[in-house]
Every structure is written in structure tokens, then in C-alpha cells.
């Protein structure tokens, strides 16, 4: 048995991680799935039977990210997080998806001689199956970012990459002096793909947004060009973007006809320090 980074979602007491379940002192028990993640989303907080990414979207994210196309973002995240960590940091990836960035950061910290404890949460059980298989040293749980199952001031570094911004919860779980990294798309992210999908594509808005209780440290750009070599990679990239939900049929057909695609990728990493 070992102490979990997570808290009981019903009573907020500490959880102990056993072989097949996590249990709190009151007696609440939460099964650990075969893949290794824990289900910590109470039924009364679910908005559907299977919230979050479905099987198809989860597979698209897993397959695309595993090809290394977004490695420039992962490498930049690692280089920004490493100097902001002590020797034994506690980290949370909120909206971790299939764990590509979670695992990469955890492994980079270990390679640098640190002893991290890391957790990842996502609302989709389908996508966490991939995350838990990717890195056994990270604790993963199905949970809501708006009701994080973690103690107050228990996290040194919190990552949010293209996921819901639950700023009040982030402020609660981050310790004073801890860091919050918020990844958003740059103005021209996937511009060439958008130009195929839409007759009049428009750039993403870029702005500096302060949040109460946080102080800006930096906005770090990541800009590269990638070439997708086959239709499967193009299809997977499309499926893991919001455009999959709102693209006209004609645009989808134009993209499906492409055998390769060269497009810009553009990210902005907003780095904040928790005040107090």
C-alpha cells in the first residue's frame, strides 16, 4: 500500500492505493482499472454516461501524438518545467488526455535526477486507458477539472494543455510559489489545414489574460512546420481538433483527398506563478 496523490472525491480524505483499489479512512473505495487508472468521478457529477473523448477520438490522439509531430511542444514544456522544480516536485496534468505530455515530462524529470510524483486527470475513461499504459509511474484518474480530487496547496507544477480552464480549482491545489503552465494555440496553428477545410479561415485570437492569485512569468512561443506523410496521420490530426465537429462536408472531403499535408503548428505556453 502507498499514499495516493488523490483525495477521496466524496469526503476529501486521503486515499491509500492498494493493489486493486484506492480507499479512504471512512471506507469509500474506488477500483483501479486493469490498465492502472482509478475512477474518481462520482455518478452525480457526470453529464453523460461516458463523458469526454470517445474511443475513436482517444485512438486518434494516441496514434497522432505517438508519431512525434508535437515533440517541439513537449521539449519546450520540459525545458520550462525543469528549472522551476525542486528535487522532489509534485505535478498535476489537468486534462491529460492520452498522457503524451504527462509521461514525457515525468520521464524528463527522472532523467534529470529528480524524484517527481505526478498525477494526471481526464474526464474520459477511454483516453486514460492509453495514458495509464504509457507511464506506470504516474497516477491517473477519471475526474473533473472543476472538482479536482487533490488536497489544497498540494501541487508544485500544474499543466493545462488545450483543456478546460478551471482556474479556481487550479488556484486551490497549487501551493504558493507553484507554477501553472497553460498551453493554447497560436494565431496560425494548423493554418494550412484550416485553409483546406474552410473558404475563409481566420487566425486564433492571442491575448494576455491575467488571473486572480497568479502572476505572469512568461509567454513562451513554440512555432514549427510539420509534414504529415499519409492520410491516416491527416485524419487523426483532424479528429483530435475542434474542427472535426464544425467543418462543412465539402471541407472534410477536400482534406480527405490529401495524401500528405505540410502545415504550421503554433503554441503559446502561458506561465504563471501562484501568489501568496
Task: Say yes or no to pLDDT of 15 above 90.
Answer: yes
Angle (CA) 50 55 57, round 5°: 105
Distance of CA 184 to the CA centre of its chain: 11
Task: Say yes or no to pLDDT of 46 above 80.
Answer: no
Average pLDDT over residues 250-256: 96
Average pLDDT over residues 261-271: 98
| Whole-number pLDDT of residue 1 | 60
Task: Say yes or no to pLDDT of 34 above 50.
Answer: yes
CA atoms within 13 A on the CB side of 220: 18
Angle (CA) 58 64 66, round 5°: 100
Q: Looking only at Cα atoms, what is the longest distance across the chain? A: 58
| Whole-number pLDDT of residue 53 | 59
3.40.50.720, 3.30.420.40, 3.40.50.2300, 3.40.50.150: which CATH number matches 48-274? 3.40.50.150
233, 239, 243, 247: CA torsion to nearest 10: 90
**140-174 confidence digits (pLDDT tens):** 999 999 999 999 999 999 999 999 999 999 999 99
* Listed residue (34, 43, 229) closest to 132, CA to CA: 34
157, 11, 124, 119: CA torsion to nearest 10: 30
| Whole-number pLDDT of residue 49 | 46
Average pLDDT of the chain to the nearest whole number = 93
What would the grid cell of residue 6 be? 488523490
| Whole-number pLDDT of residue 19 | 86
Contact between 30 and 39 (Cβ < 8 Å): yes
Query: Global pTM?
Result: 0.94
**50-95 confidence digits (pLDDT tens):** 444 567 888 899 999 999 999 999 999 999 999 999 999 999 999 9
Q: Is 168 exposed, middle or buried (0-12, 13-18, 19+ CB in 10 A)?
A: exposed
Residue in this structure with the C-alpha cell 510559489, named with its chain if needed? 177
Query: Rounded to an integer, what distance in angstroms lies between the CA atom of residue 263 and that of residue 225?
Result: 6
| Whole-number pLDDT of residue 111 | 98
Q: What is the 8-class DSSP label of residue 235?
A: H
Amino acid at each position: 500500500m502507498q499514499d495516493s496523490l488523490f483525495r477521496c472525491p466524496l469526503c476529501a480524505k486521503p486515499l491509500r492505493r492498494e493493489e486493486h483499489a484506492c480507499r479512504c479512512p471512512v471506507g469509500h473505495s474506488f477500483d483501479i482499472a486493469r490498465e492502472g487508472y482509478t475512477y474518481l468521478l462520482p455518478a452525480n457529477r457526470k453529464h453523460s454516461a461516458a463523458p469526454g473523448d470517445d474511443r475513436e477520438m482517444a485512438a486518434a490522439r494516441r496514434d497522432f501524438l505517438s508519431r512525434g509531430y508535437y515533440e517541439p511542444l513537449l521539449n519546450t514544456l520540459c525545458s520550462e518545467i525543469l528549472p522551476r522544480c525542486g528535487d522532489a516536485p509534485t505535478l498535476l496534468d489537468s486534462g491529460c488526455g492520452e498522457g503524451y505530455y504527462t509521461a514525457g515530462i515525468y520521464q524528463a524529470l527522472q532523467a534529470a535526477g529528480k524524484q517527481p510524483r505526478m498525477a494526471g486527470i481526464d474526464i474520459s475513461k477511454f483516453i486514460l486507458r492509453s495514458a495509464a499504459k504509457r507511464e506506470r509511474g504516474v497516477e491517473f484518474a477519471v475526474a473533473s477539472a472543476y472538482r479536482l480530487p487533490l488536497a489544497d496547496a498540494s501541487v508544485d507544477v500544474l499543466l493545462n494543455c488545450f483543456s478546460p480552464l478551471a482556474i479556481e480549482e487550479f488556484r486551490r491545489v497549487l501551493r504558493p510559489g507553484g507554477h501553472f503552465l497553460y498551453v493554447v494555440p497560436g494565431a496560425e496553428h494548423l493554418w494550412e489545414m484550416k485553409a483546406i477545410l474552410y473558404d475563409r479561415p481566420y487566425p486564433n485570437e492571442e491575448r494576455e489574460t491575467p488571473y486572480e492569485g497568479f502572476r505572469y512569468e512568461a509567454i513562451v512561443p513554440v512555432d514549427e512546420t510539420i509534414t504529415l506523410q499519409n492520410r491516416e496521420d491527416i485524419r487523426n490530426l483532424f479528429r483530435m481538433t475542434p474542427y472535426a465537429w464544425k467543418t462543412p462536408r465539402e471541407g472534410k472531403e477536400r482534406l480527405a483527398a490529401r495524401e500528405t499535408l505540410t502545415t504550421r503548428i503554433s503554441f503559446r505556453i502561458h506561465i504563471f506563478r501562484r501568489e501568496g
